[in-house]
Amino acid sequence: MRDHACFAAALLLFCCLSGPRESGAEDDLSARINRIFTALGDDKSPGLGVLVRKDGRTAFERGYGVRDLRSFAKIDSQTNFRLASCSKQFTAMSIMLLVHDGKLRYNDKLTDVFPDFPAYGKAITIRNLLNHTSGLPDYEDLMAAAEKRKGASIWSDTHQIQDAEVLNLLEQEKAGKFTPASQWSYSNSGYVVLGLVVAKLSGKPFREFLRERIFAPLKMSQTIAYQEGQNEVTNRAYGHSKEGDAWKQTDQSPTSATLGDGGIYSSLNDLAKWDEALAQHTLLSENGMRLALTPAQLTTGAQPQWPANSDRAQGTPVAYGFGWFLDPYRNYVRMWHYGDTSGFHTYIERFPADRLTIIILCNRTDLDPESLATKVADMFQSAAH
């Protein structure tokens, strides 16, 4: 009995001594993170949402600025941003779920799914589409060529290209940019096609597959693949760009309606659930995810590199799996992705071994969320040494 009393007293003393100290350390960390972002949004300007998760829980979550310049509603954890290319991780997961279901194989050819696709599709595998080694022409280049031939605009912010039209443009081509798996080239075309693959093999619209197999099971109740007239974005952030000293809403472009490459809207709250599902292997086993986290290999044996006319320095090495870049950061294992579209910049960065995730969603184009996330990562990693 005396031992129990002594233990209880010791435990109480420990809690009294350690509790405030730990709380103080957490408050200090939050204050340091906040200082990185606090000047980047006010109650009259678009801004950003920031989420930091460490060891399976939220270490920091805050909104800065407003969702739009009509209501001036503040950005918070429920605000839904267009994810742009951060959508690709969900498209890749959809394909992996179909493979898990036995409805698809990674070595299946594009022509196995779309028999009417031209002959150059016979050499393109699902794996090539996932890891950007397909060589599919860029659909924005094909749009420009089609408009040049017509001598007039075909698509606009209000008459946007649809997924089926992207496939049609690709089917009018006679060859890809290179032999599949001989080079690496980031391809929005490939991910639009992957969304169409999901729709065809599942027998339901891509947005519905995402909802039924990913968003609903994970209780990501606000996250959608947005299609005008089919669903609505709640608590929607609208995209903006700065022109001189003024903000202009630049929320849509001619390519804003495509889905698999960038059409998903989500919030910090829902993305925390997504991060937890990835950590716990809720949707796929660790083995099922392994290929997604394996960098693309070229048939030449060369290291994949960023090509010319990309947003990175030409010749810089690149590692890409299925919907994730896999380049390490200062020798820390990392999976990450950026998103860049009309009015929005987004960034999701995960350090799985360190159980650290940083998510930054901006509804303005003058911010670089990747460099901001790096500052947060440096803070945690320096504290670990």
233-272 confidence digits (pLDDT tens) = 999 999 999 999 899 999 999 999 999 999 999 999 999 9
Model pLDDT, residue 52: 98
Confidence check: pLDDT of 62 > 80: yes
Q: Tell me if 206 is assigned to some domain.
A: yes
**Owner of token pair 């952030």:** 237
Confidence check: pLDDT of 17 > 50: no
248: domain CATH number? 3.40.710.10
Two tokens, residue 12 = 């109480």
Q: pLDDT digit string (tens) for 143-155?
A: 999 999 999 999 9
Confidence check: pLDDT of 37 > 50: yes
Helix axis angle for 163-171 and 188-202, nearest 10°, is 110
Q: pLDDT digit string (tens) for 107-137?
A: 999 999 999 999 999 999 999 999 999 999 9
3-state SS record for the chain: CHHHHHHHHHHHHHHHHHHHHHHHHHHHHHHHHHHHHHHHCCCCCECEEEEEEECCEEEEEEEECECCCCCCCECCCCCEEECHHHHHHHHHHHHHHHHHHCCCCCCCEHHHHCCCCCHHHHHCEHHHHHCCCCCCCCHHHHHHHHHHHHCCCCCCCCCCCCHHHHHHHHHCCCCCCCCCCCCCCCCHHHHHHHHHHHHHHHCCCHHHHHHHHHHCCCCCCCCEECCCCCCCCCCECCCEEEECCEEEECCCCCCCCCCCCCCEEECHHHHHHHHHHHHHCCCCCHHHHHHHHCCCCCCCCCCCECCCCCCCCCCCECCECCCCECCCECCECCEEEEEEECCEEEEEEEEHHHCEEEEEEECECCCCHHHHHHHHHHHHHHHCC
Q: Tell me if 19 is assigned to some domain.
A: no
Q: pLDDT digit string (tens) for 165-215?
A: 999 999 999 999 999 999 999 999 999 999 999 999 999 999 999 999 999
Model pLDDT, residue 25: 60
pTM summary value: 0.92
**Which residues constitute the domain of residue 155?**
28-383
Number of domains in the chain: 1
Which contacts of 331-337 are long-range, i.e. CB under 8 A and separated by 24 or more positions? Answer: 332/377, 332/381, 335/293, 337/85, 337/86, 337/88, 337/89
Q: Is the dihedral of CA 330, 292, 81, 353 positive or negative?
A: negative
Contact 280, 216 (CB under 8 A): no
Model pLDDT, residue 7: 34
Q: Tell me if 7 is assigned to some domain.
A: no
Q: pLDDT digit string (tens) for 361-383?
A: 999 999 999 999 999 999 988 76
Q: Residue 356: name the closest of 18, 33, 89 by CA.
A: 33
Q: Tell me if 20 is assigned to some domain.
A: no
Q: pLDDT digit string (tens) for 325-366?
A: 999 999 899 999 999 999 999 999 999 999 999 999 999 999
Model pLDDT, residue 304: 95
Model pLDDT, residue 10: 38
Model pLDDT, residue 24: 61
- pLDDT averaged over every residue in the chain: 92
Confidence check: pLDDT of 3 > 60: no
Model pLDDT, residue 384: 65
Q: Tell me if 5 is assigned to some domain.
A: no
Determine the straight-line distance between the first and last CA of the chain, rounded to whole angstroms: 43
Q: What percent of the chain shows pLDDT beyond 90?
A: 86
Q: Tell me if 95 is assigned to some domain.
A: yes
Q: pLDDT digit string (tens) for 20-31?
A: 444 566 678 899
Two tokens, residue 122 = 């016979």
One-letter amino acid for residue 317 of the chain = P
Confidence of residue 312 (pLDDT cuts 50, 70, 90): confident
Q: Tell me if 14 is assigned to some domain.
A: no
Q: Tell me if 250 is assigned to some domain.
A: yes
